[in-house]
């Protein structure tokens, strides 16, 4: 059986089964009750880090424990079918409590497209963009697991002819296809995390959809940046892929010019060869490549903490929209419809610029032989 969830993957999550909340790993079309398996097959793994109620204890345990749990799990599952529960008998839950949420803007192609849309007669990139990973601080309390309904947000929009801002449901509801990075080991306030310490703190990755109300965002973001146009919902996959599963898909970054400042330099600047797919109502509308990103996840982490901001277990930071150089690789509807001026067509013949009520968006991805857990959301009317 080849599902992309074999022994080389084994993502972690939380499920409920027969009224019990379980910290689990996904293996093929089953989930494994990790605490029960550790208790019944002792191997030096401390069952308490797998006892839940979510992934928090495992995240906080650090790289040595992460490696020990993974090795034990691979060895155990290779020789036994004990502890497996059919996937269709469980309900997936939020895998960890999000402590803080930061979203970056790390794609050169996305940032350039946005600049051309909104500043067609000016340089697409603002002067700071090639010098630092631009980001904003999001809202942890509205990060939700895949499948959670997304209620159309409402808010103020640009003034009409009468000079007064409009108010009501967003008419430009968008998606952003991203990769999220889940922090396990915290850091001390006042001490920056070096770029080469990325794997000492980050446990794994998850697919992320940063839902965006472009019309609300356009009116509010000057001079302080995104707020209500972003904070209403961010969806993540319920399955967290450990960094160890991505070792074989590490990919060098495209060249950075100018050379970053010292705190952003790493010995081997790298991202990951992860290929995403954006699906709207069953139609594949985009295939963004993560390998095309300009700023690496290690550089984003270093910048996030360079001012002395501390990490906490359960922190989540997003890559920002992943877009490649081709039209079919754009990771937002803003880009696909070129600011709402160029509708695109779905397989059923209908067209879209932005999302309509009832639309379902699925983001999925592959990384070599593995398949990341997908993230899905359906738009509900206000």
Which residues are part of the catalytic machinery?
110
Cα separation values, 360 from 23, 142, 280, 309, 355, Å:
28, 19, 6, 37, 9
Dig out the tokens for 291 from the structure.
């390998």
Q: How many CB atoms lie within 10 A of CB 257?
A: 7
Residue 297 · residue 178 · CB < 8 Å: no
Length of the chain: 382
Q: Is there a cis peptide before residue 74, judged by omega within 30 degrees of 0? A: no
Angle (nearest 5°) at CA 305 between 273 and 323: 30
Residue 162's Cβ-side half-sphere holds a number of Cα atoms within 13 Å equal to 3
């Amino acid at each position: 059986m080849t599902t992309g969830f074999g022994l080389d993957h084994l993502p972690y999550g939380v499920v409920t089964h027969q009224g019990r909340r379980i910290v689990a790993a996904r293996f093929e079309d089953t989930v494994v009750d990790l605490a029960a398996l550790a208790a019944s097959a002792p191997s030096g793994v401390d069952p308490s880090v797998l006892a839940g109620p979510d992934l928090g204890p495992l995240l906080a345990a650090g790289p040595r424990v992460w490696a020990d749990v993974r090795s034990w799990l691979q060895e155990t599952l290779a020789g036994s079918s004990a502890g497996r529960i059919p996937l269709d008998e469980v309900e997936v839950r939020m895998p960890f409590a999000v402590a803080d949420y930061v979203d970056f803007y790390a794609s050169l192609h996305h940032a350039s497209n946005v600049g051309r849309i909104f500043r067609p007669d000016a340089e697409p990139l603002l002067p700071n963009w090639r010098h630092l990973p631009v980001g904003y601080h999001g809202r942890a309390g509205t990060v939700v697991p895949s499948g959670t309904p997304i209620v159309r947000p409402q808010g103020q929009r640009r003034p009409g002819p009468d000079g007064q801002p409009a108010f009501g449901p967003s008419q430009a509801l968008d998606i952003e296809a991203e990769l999220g990075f889940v922090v396990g080991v915290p850091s001390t306030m006042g001490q920056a995390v070096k770029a080469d310490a990325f794997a000492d703190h980050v446990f794994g990755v998850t697919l992320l959809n940063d839902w965006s109300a472009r019309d609300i965002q356009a009116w509010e973001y000057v001079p302080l940046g995104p707020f209500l146009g972003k904070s209403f919902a961010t969806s993540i996959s319920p399955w967290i892929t450990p960094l160890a599963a991505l070792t074989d898909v590490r990919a060098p970054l495209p060249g950075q010019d100018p050379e970053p400042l010292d705190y952003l330099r790493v010995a081997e600047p790298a991202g990951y060869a992860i290929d995403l797919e954006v699906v709207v109502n069953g139609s594949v509308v985009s295939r963004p490549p993560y390998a095309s990103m300009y700023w690496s996840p290690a550089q984003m982490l270093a910048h996030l903490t360079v001012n002395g901001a501390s990490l906490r277990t359960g922190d989540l930071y997003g890559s920002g929209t992943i877009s490649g150089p081709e039209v079919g690789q754009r990771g937002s509807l803003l880009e696909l419809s070129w600011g709402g001026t160029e509708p695109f067509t779905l397989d059923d013949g209908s067209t879209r610029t932005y999302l309509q009520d009832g639309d379902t968006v699925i983001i999925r991805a592959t990384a070599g032989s593995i398949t990341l857990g997908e993230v899905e959301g359906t738009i509900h009317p206000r």
